[in-house]
């Protein structure tokens, strides 16, 4: 993604009006009439046959309840999809009209919309724009424009897959804990995510490494080759509204603190030219946006906290702001959390969640061009690929979808879900080159309980239950699962549409405490982490399946680490 620089062309626009003729003034000419409108047209991302662009129109005239921006292309550009406006094209002429939710344009107010297009040859910026028939001055990224002092120097275009041909950063703090465990040296050199789960983590907690420390160490590990650093951006206001174990430090309304005290400092560090040679992958706000689909009224799984976060919009605003700011850094690759198949794979969740991702990706100045991809199964346990059954099978007169385990889901594993979701997101206007990540840190399900073939065909339930790798009581179980194992080792480009298998959740770090533990991290006690809990509607009232004696989320849990190694698949040597 590249950003054009901004400049206001000095040419004056002639505007015909009912009471005579008015001239748009050059800014700073206080004796002249005000500029009626300005347009900022930016090509955000460009490749050999296509591009995405963001357009911001500012109205300096009378307030409007609806609007339409028009321009014409000199070349062969064709608009293929748009967002935050109804974008249509006839020949070379393009019209972008407001949507129902953004028609109001106050005096001095702005509206931003975007689109994806195709081209061949050159992709010149249009010379003239109108707002409701009035010619605007154009903020077109001209050559006289000074660079934005907050932006890092350009380092070239992002690569299609940041993991391709690159090593991935090994967090020395996690590595030391893993190596200290019996048998842990077998995996202590694996790359894992660095979690920035509170503001203090930016500078380091309790003498530990801060963000700059990790990036400096990444430069050392990089050497002369390419290296990916994986960061988890995880501190939204009202975080994790459907659970208590990973609640955060910010209250539901503290969106300004999130922006100015959390995201802005992270961006400032990532934008330091010292780190321009690193490929920085961000996993943006796990578990947030899916909650606004599945855990809000009138769903039976609704929680009051999630209703609050949907009503105040701060999840959408926060994710949009993070994507916008971090996406400005040329060597940052944003991947948005996309839940997992056992959460969003049902018909009434799948499409609605994709639409929610699009809404957040076009909020707070962000565009779909700020999203490099999505990540599935972050910190979860859903099996990568179920080999012994599929949704298109029928057993004992019933579809596999009717089994208690599948429960009418369209997907039975993460690979099929991630690939299908990618296609859905592209259809909604995301770049056709977006890639998916799958967190395989704890979804191996190996060991002696791993089935070697399908179950008995006595009934659809015996068939599925006897053959499934995922041994949880229910796919809604998420906390410190008994019997789980390390999954596929981190790997680039393992399957079509998949940028990498990653260990974004560091194995051995707890999901949450199995009983209430006082702490200063804002993390509560969630009964889903209690091994005696008999469940709720979100897991169909099954037992929690959690391991006992767990510490609070993010803290080292030796028993879990040993369980993951014992049940690793592929097995550890």
- From 40, 139, 197, 287, active-site residue: 287
Q: Please, which residues have CB within 8 angstroms of residue 224's CB and are 6 or more apart in sequence?
A: none
CB 213 within 8 A of CB 198: no
Q: Please, which residues have CB within 8 angstroms of residue 213's CB and are 6 or more apart in sequence?
A: 204
- Rounded distance between C-alpha atoms, residue 294 and residue 535, angstroms: 17
Residue 326 region, left (φ>0) first, then alpha (ψ -120 to 50), else beta?
alpha
What are the helix (H) ranges across 404-457?
A: 414-427
- Rounded distance between C-alpha atoms, residue 318 and residue 306, angstroms: 15
Reported as half-sphere exposure (CB side, CA atoms, 13 A), residue 282 has a value of 29
- From 197, 439, 470, 511, active-site residue: 511
Q: Is 511 a catalytic residue?
A: yes
The torsion defined by the Cα of 87, 89, 93 and 99, in degrees rounded to 10, comes to: -20
- Rounded distance between C-alpha atoms, residue 125 and residue 10, angstroms: 16
- Rounded distance between C-alpha atoms, residue 148 and residue 139, angstroms: 14
- Rounded distance between C-alpha atoms, residue 431 and residue 422, angstroms: 10
Tokens standing for 430? 């995301």
Tokens standing for 150? 């907050």
What are the helix (H) ranges across 203-287?
A: 211-222, 255-257, 264-270
Question: Pairing relation of β-strands 37-46 and 50-59?
Answer: antiparallel
Give buried/exposed letters for 389-418 (b at 16+ CB in 10 A, else e).
Answer: bebebebeeeebbebebbeebbbbbbbbbb
Token pair 């009232």 in the structure block, residue: 541
Q: Please, which residues have CB within 8 angstroms of residue 474's CB and are 6 or more apart in sequence?
A: 342, 535, 539, 540, 542, 545
Identify the three-state secondary structure at position 253.
coil
Give buried/exposed letters for 479-497 (b at 16+ CB in 10 A, else e).
Answer: bbbbbbbbbbbbebebeeb
Tokens standing for 314? 């701060």
CB 451 within 8 A of CB 471: no
CB 232 within 8 A of CB 171: no
Q: Which helix (H) or strand (E) holds 305?
A: helix 304-312
Known catalytic residues are: 287, 511
């Amino acid at each position: 993604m590249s950003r054009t620089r901004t400049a206001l062309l000095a040419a004056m626009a002639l505007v015909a009006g009912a009471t005579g003729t008015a001239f748009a003034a050059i800014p700073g000419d206080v004796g002249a009439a005000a500029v009626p409108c300005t347009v900022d047209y930016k090509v955000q991302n460009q490749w050999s046959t296509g591009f995405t662009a963001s357009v911001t129109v500012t109205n300096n005239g009378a307030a409007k309840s609806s609007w339409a921006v028009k321009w014409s292309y000199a070349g062969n550009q064709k608009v293929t999809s748009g967002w935050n406006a109804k974008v249509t094209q006839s020949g070379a002429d393009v019209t972008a009209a407001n949507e129902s939710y953004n028609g109001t344009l106050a005096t001095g107010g702005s509206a931003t919309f975007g689109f994806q297009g195709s081209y061949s040859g050159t992709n010149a910026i249009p010379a003239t724009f109108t707002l409701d028939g009035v010619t605007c001055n154009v903020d077109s990224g001209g050559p006289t424009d000074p660079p934005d002092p907050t932006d890092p120097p350009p380092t070239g275009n992002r690569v299609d897959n940041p993991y391709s041909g690159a090593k991935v950063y090994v967090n020395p703090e996690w590595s030391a804990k893993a190596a200290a465990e019996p048998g842990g040296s077998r995996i202590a050199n694996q790359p894992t995510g660095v979690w920035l789960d509170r503001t203090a983590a930016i500078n380091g907690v309790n003498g530990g490494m801060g963000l700059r420390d990790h990036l400096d160490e990444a430069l050392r590990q990089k050497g002369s080759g390419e290296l990916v650093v994986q960061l988890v951006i995880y501190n939204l206001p009202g975080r994790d509204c459907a659970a208590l174990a990973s609640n955060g430090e910010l209250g539901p309304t503290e969106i300004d603190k999130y922006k100015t005290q959390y995201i802005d400092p992270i961006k400032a560090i990532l934008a330091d030219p010292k780190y321009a040679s690193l490929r920085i992958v961000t996993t943006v706000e796990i578990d947030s946006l899916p909650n606004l689909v599945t855990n809000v009224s009138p769903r039976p799984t609704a929680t009051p906290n999630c209703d609050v976060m949907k009503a105040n919009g701060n999840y959408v605003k926060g994710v949009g702001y993070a994507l916008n700011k971090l996406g400005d850094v040329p060597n940052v690759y944003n991947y948005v959390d996309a839940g997992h198949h056992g959460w969003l794979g049902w018909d009434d969740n799948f499409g609605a969640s994709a639409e929610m991702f699009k809404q957040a990706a076009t909020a707070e100045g962000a565009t779909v061009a700020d999203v490099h991809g999505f990540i599935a199964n972050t910190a979860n346990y859903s099996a990568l690929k179920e080999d012994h059954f599929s949704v298109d099978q029928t057993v004992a007169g019933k579809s596999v979808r009717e089994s208690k385990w599948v429960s009418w889901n369209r997907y039975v594993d993460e690979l099929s879900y991630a690939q299908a979701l990618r296609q859905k997101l592209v259809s909604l206007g995301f770049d056709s080159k977006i890639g998916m990540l799958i967190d395989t840190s704890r979804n191996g399900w190996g060991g002696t309980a791993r089935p070697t073939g399908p179950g008995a065909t006595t009934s659809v339930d015996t068939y599925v239950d006897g053959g499934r790798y995922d041994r949880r009581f229910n796919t809604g179980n998420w906390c410190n699962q008994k019997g789980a194992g390390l999954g596929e080792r981190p790997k680039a480009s393992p399957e079509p549409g998949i940028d990498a298998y990653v260990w974004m959740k560091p194995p051995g770090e707890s999901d949450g405490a199995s009983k209430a533990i006082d702490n200063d991290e804002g993390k509560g006690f969630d009964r889903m982490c209690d091994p005696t809990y008999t469940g709720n509607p979100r897991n169909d009232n099954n037992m929690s399946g959690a391991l006992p004696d767990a510490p609070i989320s993010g803290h080292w849990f030796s028993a879990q680490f040993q369980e993951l190694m014992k049940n690793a698949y592929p097995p550890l040597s």
